[in-house]
Structure formats: C-alpha cells, structure tokens
Structure 1
Amino acid sequence: MMKVTCGFTIPITLYGLPPSVNNILKVMGEITDAGFNTMEMEIVAGEYDDYKANWDTITNHAQSLKLDVVSIMAVTYEMFSLDKAKRDKSLEDFATICEMTAGIGAKMITNCFYLPPEMVPKERTSIYHGGPSVAVDVPEGFRWSDLRGIVIEQLQKSSAIASQNGLQFAMEMRAGDFISSVDGIISIFNDCNVKNIGMVYDVAHANAINEYLDLGIYKLGKYLKLVHLSDNDGTRPYHYQPGKGNIDFKNIIDTLKKVNFDGHVVVDISGIDNILEEAVKMKNLVEELIAE
C-alpha cells in the first residue's frame, strides 16, 4: 500500500535551503509531532560539510523519533556541466551523498536535470528559490547531441554509484529543467540501458507542462519510483495545497492504484502560510484517498 511522506519542501519553506543542522534536528521533531513518520531530505553538493560532520547526530535523532528518511535529493548543480572536471567533481559529491543516504537508512537517492552552469545566465532568475532557471544562455558551438551524450554518461555513472551503496536511483522531472517531459526522460532512460534508474513524478511540474497526469503514470511504467504531490493551475509549477489549483488528486491516487504502485507519495507543498498545518490536512486527505 502507498505511504504518505513529508517532503523536504516543508523544512525548506520553514528554514531555508539548506536548513542548518540545528534546524534539521528541530524540524524532524516538528514533523513527527505533526503526525508524519517518514520524510525526504536534500543535501547540497559543496554545502554538506556541516551535515557530514553531524550525520551521526542527525541519524540518531531520526531513529529516536522513529522517523524514517525514505529518500535524499542530491543537489548537484554541476552534474551535467560542459566541463568534465566539474562533472567529475559532481560525481564525487554524489558518491558522498549516497554514502550519507545509506548511512541514515534511506533506500533511494534522487537528482534533477539541472541546467549546465555554463548555460545559466549571469542574471539568474527562478520561479521559486532553488527552482530551475527561467532563461538559458546557449554557448557558441553548442550541440544538443553532445549534451545528451553527457547526460547519458552521467546517469549511467550515477546509477552505478547508487547501486554500490544499495540505493535505488531516480531523477525528478521539473518544468524548466533542460529535460522536462515524461517522454523525453523515458527516451533518455531507455538509452542509458541500466536497470537501476527511474523517475520522481512530480504532478505539479507535470501539470505545468500540460502533461496528462494520469497518462504520465501509465507512460512511466517500471520507471515510476516516487510521486510528489502538490497543486497548481497549470500556468506555473507552484507547489500549493490541494484546492488551490486544478489537479484531481483522487484521479491520481486511483491511477496509481490501477498500476499497483506501492511506494511513497510525498506531500510536496512549498512556500505557503501555515505550512505544517496545511501539510497535515493534505496528509489526511491523501491517506483517505488511498484507503478508499
């Protein structure tokens, strides 16, 4: 049966990205008090020294609260850089984050299709903090085939690193990333030709690119590993609570049941007032839909 999980968008909304170690410890208690017993986390490459130094404390605190971390997002902004040295460093950071992920008992490591840093405009703008850039700066001599080849190679290497750490590996689809459609990502996955790969299906992002949300679930098939739930009206990938947009959550849960999805569905709301209170309301709603 599907399980409802607290997304890391909630700690980010409360305490910024990335939350300090003290705030991680604090928010774990707040999440548990709110009724969640599972959560996601994010670790930012180049900014994880404090987390790493205190990882045993964080792990022990989660265990004392009986709060399971189910997945961790490795925020590696240079994973698909056009510069090989930067790509290699990102893989090193990814490996470290995989070790931390396995250490806390999580079973899944995730990532995003971050725009290569060489293609991010100097005046970077995004819809929300930590979100995709809203513009792209295409360098002289750029060829899509070259970048696509880089993506496949990096995903293959990431998959191998995750497997070495006993983790499932999945990529999140986000509107605004340089690969941002269900069909495009499936094509990439097929060409990677590795077993340990899949998708975090974020319905808010899928809605913003006008994907048929239920059909997307069928398209993904074996690649569907994790589901992020939040609401919007399809014009932007905002992550609102149910009722603030036009997403049919009952239809999504019913479709997940039809394909026998038994993984985690994540309360992934962000940037709203009274977020813990709203997260609890959403948790209750989704659990009721699952139980129907």
Structure 2
Amino acid sequence: MIDSKIVCCYLYPITKYGYPPLAENTLDYLDEMHSLGFSAVELEGIRDEHLNKVYEMRFNIKKKFEELNLTMPYFCAVLPGLSSMDEKERNRNFALFEKGCEIASFLGSKGILDNGPLPPFKFPNEIPVVRHYDEDSLRFAFLPEDFSWNKFWDQLIDTYKTLCDIAAKYNLEYQIHPAVGVLASSTDGFLCFANSVKKDNLKFNFDTANLFVIKENLILSYLKVKDYVNYIHISDNRGLKVEHLEIGNGNINWGKFFDVINKNNFNGYFGIDIGGAESGVKKLNVAYISAAKFLEEKWLKLN
C-alpha cells in the first residue's frame, strides 16, 4: 500500500463523476481509491445537501474505513456562504461547518479544510456551485451598493476567529485552501489574513498548481508560509490557466521545490490533487499512482 502520508484527494472522484459527485456513492469512491493502493484519502462535504448526506453516512463511512484500513487526515467542508454579509446565512453556515467538524473528528482527521473566503458578491441566483471562481463564474457578480470594505473585513475576521474556535473544540486545524477568485489565496494574502485572525490552529493548504497559476514563486512562497503548512496539494500547472496536471506535464520545477521542502524537513501530508474538467487528464489512475511513486522517491525516502 502507498504510505499514509500520501493522500488521494477528493478531486479523484470529482474528475470521474462530476462536481459535486453524488455523496450517496461515497463508499464506492473509497473502494476505488483503496484499489489504487491508497491508505489515506480525502473526502468533502460540498454545501448543505451534500455535506448533510455525508454526515448521515458517517457511521457507514467509518465502518468502511475500518474494513479497508483507511485514514482521512483532512476533511473538506466547502461552504462559500461563511463569508456572507447576511447574518442568517452566516449562522446557517456556522451550523454546517460544525457538522463538518463533527465528521472530521468522528473519522479521526487532523483538520478541516475549506477554500479561502469568497468576497461578498451578489449573484442573480445562488452562488455558483464551482470549484474555482474564475472570470466566467464571476461575470454576473456584483457588490452591494452600500458595501464597505472595512466593515466586511472586520466581520470576516470575527467569523474566522469563530470558525477556528469551533474547529479547536474538536481538536482540529482549520486549513485555508487557495483558489482563484477567493481571498487569502496568495501567500501574502494568507499571511495578512492569519495576522488578523491570530489563531494557532489556522493553517495554509499549500496547493502547488493554484499558487503557480497566480505567478507565485513556489520556493519563496513555501518559505514565507512554511510555519503554517503541514498539508500540500500537489499537481502540475503550465502557468496559463487553472489546471491540475499530471506531475511533469506542466512547468513547475519539481527538483528545486523538493530541495527546499526536504531542506526544511517538511513532515506533513501530500494530497495528490490531479484532474478536474479543466485539466484533460486522460489516464487518471495512472496519474495518481505515478504521482505517489514520485513522492516516495522525491520526499519519503529522503526524510
């Protein structure tokens, strides 16, 4: 089996079955990830209906974990409504977040993860159900006429202090995942955000592809935020658009990246995060198995 420090991310079933993949089929996804050789997996709860279904299934999921000897270091609760300026919407999402923390704790996770906060855009209908808020997703978005950045920022920081406290109640880290279109998605943005939130369990999920596409130097970026990083999402990128490519199919200099990772004794987890409709990965199983072998050679054997 693949070392439990190397995680099969939820992007695997997303790529195979669409976004979001049916929560009802979670046990099948676990069988599929295990069949590739993974002993550590990532699951997600995507907004209310999907997250609530995972919550309902948590006992069956735990039974499947025990049957397959799986672990889940991090659980993702995708809740863009947490940054809403509407108090009722925030409170509704606080309750969903707490359910996510219950799932994570019950299944033995170290932390809970979500995208960085979405700016308080208004949409003609609901917030689009997308993984990245790119130009197409935000084409019809607008800010409220009475929008005040200072008021929003103060409220946002209070919200994330509360979220960190909820996570801490379950002995969980709270990982912020960088994605196009959200706040705190650059390393400088995250450091500013973390300096305001001031919570020890706030961490940064270092996503190589998402940082590379916004023109971050991954070596410098890692050194800036390394004290906040114990979970790295790994995939390649060409620097032209959002994509999560097979290792070696993009322009990331992996030799230099792993030199700095190993020199600084990174001892957390790597999540293999390859695929998505934007990436055109044709041999998904091969991509995940090859990435795991790559990590064993470049990282595990040297640490």
**Separation of aligned partners in 1, 2:155 and 2:169:** 21
- Would you say 1:130 and 2:131 are equivalent positions? yes
**Separation of aligned partners in 1, 2:215 and 2:171:** 35
**Separation of aligned partners in 2, 1:50 and 1:121:** 26
Look up the match of 1:97: 100
Match of 1:88 among 65, 86, 91: 91
State the TM-score, normalizing by the size of structure 2. 0.89
**Separation of aligned partners in 1, 2:52 and 2:180:** 30
Deviation of 1:225 (Å): 2.6
Instruction: Report the secondary structure of 1:277's partner residue.
Output: helix
Residues 2-28 of structure 1: per-residue CA shift (max 9 Å, x gap): 922111101111122333345221121
**Separation of aligned partners in 2, 1:287 and 1:104:** 26
Instruction: Report the secondary structure of 1:42's partner residue.
Output: strand
Look up the match of 1:243: 248
Residues 9-66 of structure 1: per-residue CA shift (max 9 Å, x gap): 0111112233334522112111111111101111123112322222111111012101
Deviation of 1:120 (Å): 4.6
Instruction: Report the secondary structure of 1:161's partner residue.
Output: helix
Look up the match of 1:263: 268
- Would you say 1:3 and 2:5 are equivalent positions? yes
State the TM-score, normalizing by the size of structure 1. 0.92
Query: How many pairs does the alignment contain?
Result: 290
Q: Is the 8 A contact 1:125 1:133 kept in 2?
A: no
Residues 228-263 of structure 1: per-residue CA shift (max 9 Å, x gap): 111111111211111221012232222122222200
- Correspondence 1:22-101 to 2 at 5 A: 22-47=24-49, 48-101=51-104
Q: Is the 8 A contact 1:133 1:177 kept in 2?
A: no
Look up the match of 2:151: 146
RMSD: 2.1
Q: Which runs of 5 or more structure 2 residues have no equivalent in the other structure? A: none
Look up the match of 2:294: 285
Q: Is the 8 A contact 1:15 1:23 kept in 2?
A: no
The one-letter code sitting in structure 2 at the alignment partner of 1:59 is K
Q: Is the 8 A contact 1:2 1:262 kept in 2?
A: no
Q: Is the 8 A contact 1:45 1:94 kept in 2?
A: no
Look up the match of 1:110: 113
Q: Is the 8 A contact 2:177 2:185 kept in 1?
A: no
Q: Is the 8 A contact 1:6 1:31 kept in 2?
A: yes
Q: Is the 8 A contact 1:182 1:216 kept in 2?
A: yes
Moved more, 156-165 or 52-61: 52-61
Instruction: Report the secondary structure of 1:72's partner residue.
Output: strand
Look up the match of 2:283: 274
Q: Which runs of 5 or more structure 1 residues have no equivalent in the other structure? A: none
**Separation of aligned partners in 2, 1:18 and 1:105:** 23
Instruction: Report the secondary structure of 1:101's partner residue.
Output: helix
Look up the match of 1:170: 175
Match of 2:205 among 185, 200, 209: 200
Look up the match of 1:229: 234
Q: Is the 8 A contact 2:81 2:89 kept in 1?
A: yes
The one-letter code sitting in structure 1 at the alignment partner of 2:295 is V
Instruction: Report the secondary structure of 2:239's partner residue.
Output: coil
Deviation of 1:115 (Å): 2.0
Moved more, 145-154 or 60-69: 145-154
**Separation of aligned partners in 2, 1:143 and 1:133:** 23
Instruction: Report the secondary structure of 2:67's partner residue.
Output: helix
The one-letter code sitting in structure 1 at the alignment partner of 2:58 is W
Which fold has the larger relative contact order, with Cα–Cα distance below 8 Å and residues 6 or more apart in sequence? 1
Moved more, 69-78 or 131-140: 131-140
Deviation of 1:125 (Å): 10
When residues 59 and 19 of structure 1 are mapped into structure 2, their CA distance, relative to the original with a 3 A threshold, is farther
- Hey, which bits of structure 1, 4+ residues long, moved more than 6 A? 123-126
Q: Is the 8 A contact 2:4 2:71 kept in 1?
A: no
